[in-house]
């Protein structure tokens, strides 16, 4: 990771190109420290996030490390989540303007960096997704807050299916604030660093009209077919529809973890009611601590990331077999001394 100041900007550049800049605990800790050090530094008026090279902004978290820890005592996994969520929360509550350049793959942990930022720049290369249910995990890093606040039932659709959307979709949904061509990003960063108080004018002057957002044509189907917070109802709606698009979504869901799809629906239902982002982080940390040591996460990582056979054997295997009691257990609060806490200032 490259952390430096440039003009009036603090710059944080993710720099693990071979891993598509996937976050580690050390990276989350470094971002936390940088944000804290710049908080009281009058020379730093804006913080910008981007990636140094490669084909994506950030593909997520260090899933192999988390899975290895989850298969054992879970200590390293819990430390990672605690630090990452502290970073997410600090960004959400940060007083100075923040800018994320969501160029290329922006998934999982990359979403957690981007969405708290005041300015979120999408490009023609942006590929946004929360694909966690495919590895027996759930959309975290604040997804229960952000996705539950998207129009219609788009958030629930994205959470369950892990669908990839592009920069035009992100702009249409409000996930991005601006749409710039990739070729204009270097100029945008240089101009913001030299004149931090003119961020809005700079981004507006370099923005271009986005192509038509494909997701707009799916909004009615999404609202109708993903209307319920009960997973079995979603399956039934997709089955009853009979259309090609509904059949494709049903096939997609058949490959996801029934357990963590149900976790995702409850997470968004709860997140929509929270008034404080810290409550979302506290909930997600408790859920993460439970899920990371369960069968589906270990199996999902094996099937998708390690062996790459893409044939996970979920347990429970069907939505009907995932009991309310199991989901209640996963959402059980942690003891106070183990619960997530925001990072202390100073």
Q: Which of 56, 108, 109, 134 is catalytic?
A: 109
Residues 6+ apart with CB under 8 A from 294: 136, 259, 330
Based on the residue annotation, tell me whether 280 is a catalytic residue of this protein.
no
- Give the distance from CA 277 to its chain's centroid: 14
Q: Exposed/middle/buried for 75, CB within 10 Å: 0-12, 13-18, 19+?
A: exposed
Q: Mark whether 140 is an active-site residue.
A: yes
CA angle at 116 for the pair 115 and 120, rounded to the nearest 5°: 50
Q: Which member of 84, 103, 140, 284 is catalytic?
A: 140
* Residue of 132, 166, 284, 299 with catalytic role: 132
Q: Tokens 């993903």 belong to which residue?
A: 226
Q: Judge contact between 99 and 118, C-beta under 8 A.
A: yes
How open is the CA angle 104-106-109, to the nearest 5 degrees?
Answer: 150
Cα Rg, the chain, nearest whole Å: 20
Residue 243 falls in the annotated catalytic set: no
CB-CB neighbours of 41 under 10 Å: 11
- Compute how many other C-beta atoms are within 10 angstroms of the C-beta atom of residue 237: 18
3-state secondary structure of 11: strand
Q: How far apart are the first and last CA of the chain?
A: 22
Tell me, letter by letter, the H, E, C secondary structure of 140-157: CCCHHHHHHHCCCCHHHH
The answer to whether residue 61 is catalytic is yes
Neighbours of 309 (CB within 10 A): 9
Task: Catalytic residue, from 56, 61, 134, 300: name it.
Answer: 61
Cα dihedral 115, 121, 123, 126, rounded to 10, equals: -10
**Half-sphere exposure at residue 312, Cβ-oriented, CA atoms within 13 angstroms:** 29
Catalytic residue positions, numbered: 61, 109, 132, 140
């Amino acid at each position: 990771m490259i952390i430096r100041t440039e003009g009036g900007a603090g710059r944080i550049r993710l720099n693990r190109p071979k891993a598509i800049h996937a976050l580690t605990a050390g990276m989350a800790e470094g971002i936390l420290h940088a944000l804290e050090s710049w908080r009281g530094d009058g020379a730093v008026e804006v913080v910008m996030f981007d990636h140094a090279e490669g084909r994506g902004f950030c593909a997520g978290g260090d899933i192999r490390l988390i899975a290895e820890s989850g298969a054992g005592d879970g200590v390293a996994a819990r430390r990672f989540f605690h630090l990452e969520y502290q970073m997410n929360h600090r960004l959400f509550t940060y007083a100075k303007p923040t800018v994320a350049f969501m160029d290329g793959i922006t998934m999982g942990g990359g979403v957690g960096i981007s969405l708290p930022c005041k300015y979120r720049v999408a490009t023609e290369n942006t590929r946004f997704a929360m694909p966690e249910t495919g590895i027996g995990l759930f959309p975290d890093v604040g997804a229960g807050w952000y996705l539950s606040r998207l129009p219609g039932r788009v958030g629930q659709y994205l959470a369950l299916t892990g669908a990839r959307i592009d920069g035009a979709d992100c702009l249409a949904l409000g996930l991005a604030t601006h749409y710039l061509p990739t070729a204009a990003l270097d100029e945008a960063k240089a101009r913001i660093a030299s004149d931090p108080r003119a961020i809005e004018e700079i981004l507006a002057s370099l923005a271009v009209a986005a192509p038509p957002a494909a997701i707009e044509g799916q909004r009615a189907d999404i609202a109708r077919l993903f209307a319920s917070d009960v997973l079995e109802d979603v399956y039934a709606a997709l089955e009853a529809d009979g259309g090609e698009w509904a059949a494709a979504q049903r096939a997609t869901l058949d490959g996801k973890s029934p357990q963590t799809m149900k976790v995702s629906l409850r997470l968004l239902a709860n997140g929509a009611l929270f008034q404080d982002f810290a409550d979302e982080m506290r909930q997600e940390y408790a859920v993460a601590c439970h899920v990371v040591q369960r069968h589906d996460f270990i199996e999902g990582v094996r099937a998708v990331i390690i062996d790459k056979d893409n044939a996970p054997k979920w347990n429970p295997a069907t939505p009907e077999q995932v009991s309310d009691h199991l989901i209640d257990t996963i959402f059980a609060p942690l003891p106070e001394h183990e619960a997530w806490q925001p990072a202390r200032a100073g």
